[in-house]
Amino acid sequence: MSGIRQAGLELVVIELRRERDELAERNRQLQEALCGLEDISEALRFGLTPSELTIFQVLKRHQCAGREQLMAALYGARPNDAPDPGVIDVMICKLRRKIRLRGYAITGHYGLGWQLKKTTGGDL
C-alpha cells in the first residue's frame, strides 16, 4: 500500500473511533435518562413526594447510602439552609410504608446507611 493511501486509511480509522466514542457517550446519556423516567413512573405509582423520589433514586443506584449522601442529594444546592439531618429518618420511615406493598424494602445498616432491596410479591 502506498504511504498516502495508508495515511488516508489511518484518518478514516481515527474518525470512526471518534464517532464510536461519541455514540457510546450518547447511548450512556440516553440510558441514564430512561432510567430516570422509569423512576418517575414508579414514583407516580407509589405516590412519592419529590424528596422521597430523590431518596428512592439514590438508594436504587447505590448498594448502601449514608445520611450524608442522602442529605447531599436532597439539599446539596443549599448547604447553608439544610434541615436537621434527622429529617432523613422521617423520610425513610414514610418511604418504607409507601414502597412496602410494591415489592421493595429499605434495610438500615448501623453506621453505614440504608439499602433498598427488591422483595418478592408486591403490586408492581
More confident residue, 124 or 109: 109
Q: How many domains does the chain have?
A: 2
Most distant pair of Cα atoms in the chain: their distance: 72
My answer on whether 109 and 72 are in the same domain is yes
Domain identity same for 91 and 34 = no
Stated pTM of the model: 0.64
Domain span at residue 37 reads: 1-46
Q: 12-32, pLDDT tens digit by residue?
A: 999 999 998 888 887 767 666
State the pLDDT at residue 34.
58
